[in-house]
Structure 1
């Protein structure tokens, strides 16, 4: 599986019924747990004081990431995504093959 950093900005359309927003947000939390359990969602952060998220995601390729992973998020139609494919750096102290 490949890894991707994904920046997500969610913009709820003006005039959206608050009950619809609440329903989608609740469904989003459930779906995020499912994607974490399947190994697609590895980590998710929110920069302090900002209304955006940055996540580490896994998928076979970028097409699968968009279609079968991010495309299944209940808030997806309200999201703007920036996707960056990443790979381990040779000096990454978190690499499993690094010996001390």
Structure 2
């Protein structure tokens, strides 16, 4: 299954810049692992407002429970709110590779 995940992060007040940098480093490492293992398929940075920290992603997982386990394994989840939308193929999707 594929899932669209809107990930909105709020850094807790009083968090030091060093702690933020360390968290981002750990998050990047975990994201690279998930990508390598085929779970994190795409990642985007949508248009952001001042002070907003948000990402959009496509994840692939066998089911919603496994997706939740994967999202929970990401360090930024401690500061992040995820909105998950399960995706189903559209019959007119040009990526389906239909013969002409």
Same fold (TM over 0.5): yes
| 1:75 lines up with 2:76 in the alignment | yes
Q: CA deviation at 1:32?
A: 0.6
Q: CA deviation at 1:49?
A: 3.3
Per the alignment, residue 88 of structure 1 pairs with 89
Q: CA deviation at 1:52?
A: 1.3
Whether the aligned pair in 1 keeps the contact of 2:48 and 2:54 (CA below 8 Å) is no
How many residue pairs end up in the alignment?
97
Deviations 1:6-38 (A, max 9, x none): 000000001012211110100111111110010
Give the alignment of 1:5-20 within 5 angstroms.
5-20=4-19
* Partner-residue secondary structure (3-state), 1:27: helix
Structure 1: segments with no counterpart, 5+ residues = none
Per the alignment, residue 99 of structure 2 pairs with 99
Give the alignment of 1:27-46 within 5 angstroms.
27-46=26-45
For 2:21 and 2:35, the matched residues in 1 are separated by: 21
Structure 2: segments with no counterpart, 5+ residues = none
Whether the aligned pair in 1 keeps the contact of 2:71 and 2:77 (CA below 8 Å) is yes
For 1:49 and 1:28, the matched residues in 2 are separated by: 19
TM-score scaled to structure 2, two decimals? 0.91
For 1:54 and 1:95, the matched residues in 2 are separated by: 22
* Partner-residue secondary structure (3-state), 1:7: strand
Deviations 1:15-73 (A, max 9, x none): 01221111010011111111001010000111133531111001111111112x11111
